[in-house]
Amino acid sequence: MSTEPSSPLTLPRVQAANCRSDFDLTATELVTLLELAADVKRHPAHYRSTLRGRIVSLLFEKPSLRTRITFEVAAKQLGGDSILTVGPVGGREPVADVARNLERWTDLIVARTFSQTTVDDLARFCGIPVINALSDKYHPCQALADMQTLKERWGGWQGHKLAFVGDGNNVAHSLMLDCARLGLHFACICPPGYEPDPAIVARAGEFAALTGASIQVTNGAEAGLSGAGAVYTDVWASMGQEHEAAERARLFAPYQVNAELMSLAAPEALFMHCLPAHRGEEVTEDVIEAASSVVFDQAENRLHAQKALMLMLVDGPAV
Set 121, 274, 298, 306: catalytic member: 274
CA distance 139 to 200: 13
What per-residue confidence (pLDDT) applies to 7?
A: 46
97 in any annotated domain: yes
Residues 148 and 289 in one domain: yes
Q: Could you tell me which residues come within 8 angstroms of residue 62 by beta carbon, excluding any fewer than 6 positions away? A: 112, 113, 114, 134, 239, 240
Long-range contacts of 116-124 (CB under 8 A, 24+ apart): 116/20, 116/21, 118/61, 118/89, 118/90, 119/20, 119/21, 120/20, 121/90, 121/95, 121/96, 122/59, 122/89, 122/95, 122/98, 123/17, 123/18, 123/20, 123/99, 124/96, 124/99
In the chain, which residues have pLDDT < 70? 1-8, 239-240
Q: Say yes or no: 110 and 150 in one domain.
A: no
Question: Which domain does 124 fall in, by range?
Answer: 22-139+302-313
Asked whether residue 156 falls in the same domain as residue 273, the answer is: yes
The answer to whether residues 146 and 294 belong to one domain is: yes
pLDDT in the model for residue 241: 74
Tell me how crowded residue 116 is: count the other CB atoms within 10 A of its CB: 17
Q: Are residues 156 and 289 in the same domain?
A: yes
In this prediction, residue 1 carries a pLDDT of 36
Which of 22, 107, 146, 234 is an active site residue?
234
pLDDT at 238: 76
pLDDT of residue 239: 67
pLDDT of residue 120: 98
Domains held by the chain: number: 2
Residue 6 counted as domain residue: no
Instruction: Read off the pLDDT of residues 218-239 as tens digits, 9 standing for 90 and up.
Output: 999 999 999 999 999 999 987 6
Instruction: Tell me whether residue 239 is in a domain.
Output: yes
Cβ atoms of 284 and 257 within 8 Å: the answer is: yes
Q: Indicate whether 203 and 231 sit together in one domain.
A: yes
pLDDT at residue 6, rounded to an integer: 41
Q: Are residues 114 and 80 in the same domain?
A: yes
In this structure, are 309 and 240 located in the same domain? no
112 is catalytic: yes
Please choose, from the candidates 7, 29, 6, 5, the residue with its C-alpha nearest in 3D space to the C-alpha of residue 17.
29
**Which among 185, 273, 302, 304 is annotated as catalytic?**
302
The catalytic position among 54, 66, 139, 273 is 139
Residue of 138, 227, 159, 156 lying closest to 189 (CA atoms): 227
Whether 160 is covered by a domain: the verdict is: yes
Catalytic residue at 302?
A: yes
Q: Is 234 a catalytic residue?
A: yes
Contact, 303 vs 70, CB < 8 A? Answer: yes
Start-to-end CA distance of the chain, whole Å, equals 25
Nearest of 100, 86, 195, 186 to residue 133 by alpha carbon? 86
Q: Identify whether residues 72 and 153 lie together within a single domain.
A: no
Catalytic residue, from 107, 141, 142, 256: name it: 142
Q: Quote the pTM value.
A: 0.96
Which entry of 20, 112, 173, 304 is annotated as an active-site residue? Answer: 112
Q: Are residues 129 and 198 in the same domain?
A: no
Q: What is the pLDDT of residues 112-156, one digit of tens each?
A: 999 999 999 999 999 999 999 999 999 999 999 999 999 999 999
Task: Check if 250 is active-site.
Answer: no
Are 290 and 307 in a shared domain? no
3-state helix, strand, coil in the chain (%, to 5): 45, 15, 40
